Amino acid sequence: MTPIQELRDPRHDRHRACRDHPDPEIFDPISPSQFAEAITVCASCPIVDSCGEWALCHREWGVWGGLLFEDGQLTEPKRSAA
């Protein structure tokens, strides 16, 4: 794992795959379909690993690094209707 002081905020990385995504709300998903779309974007992202580490270290919420976080903890997406 990368030391926390070496992690860069993925929101400031110009190479991130979500940079120009037309629907940024999918990264704070309220449905399984939004979560699925978000992790598809993350799967093509060149900083996917460091993004997930960032979320873990900074107690983030939502989809980071292809994973779903609540207060920096990995969680499962809600199973409500899409």
Select from 17, 32, 57, 77 the one that contacts ligand SF4 (CB under 6 A).
17
Least distance between ligand SF4 and beta carbon 66 (Å): 6
Query: Which residues ranging from 36 to 75 are in contact with ligand SF4 (CB under 6 A)?
Result: 41-42, 45, 47-48, 51, 63-66
The structure tokens listed for 6 are 């070496």
Strand segments, DSSP code E, in the chain are 62-64, 67-70, 73-74
Task: Please name every residue paired with 63 in a beta bridge, in sequence order, or none if there are none.
Answer: 68
Tell me the HSE value of 2 on the side-chain side, using a 13 A CA sphere.
16
Contacts to ligand SF4 by CB under 6 A: 10, 16-18, 27, 41-42, 45, 47-48, 51, 63-66
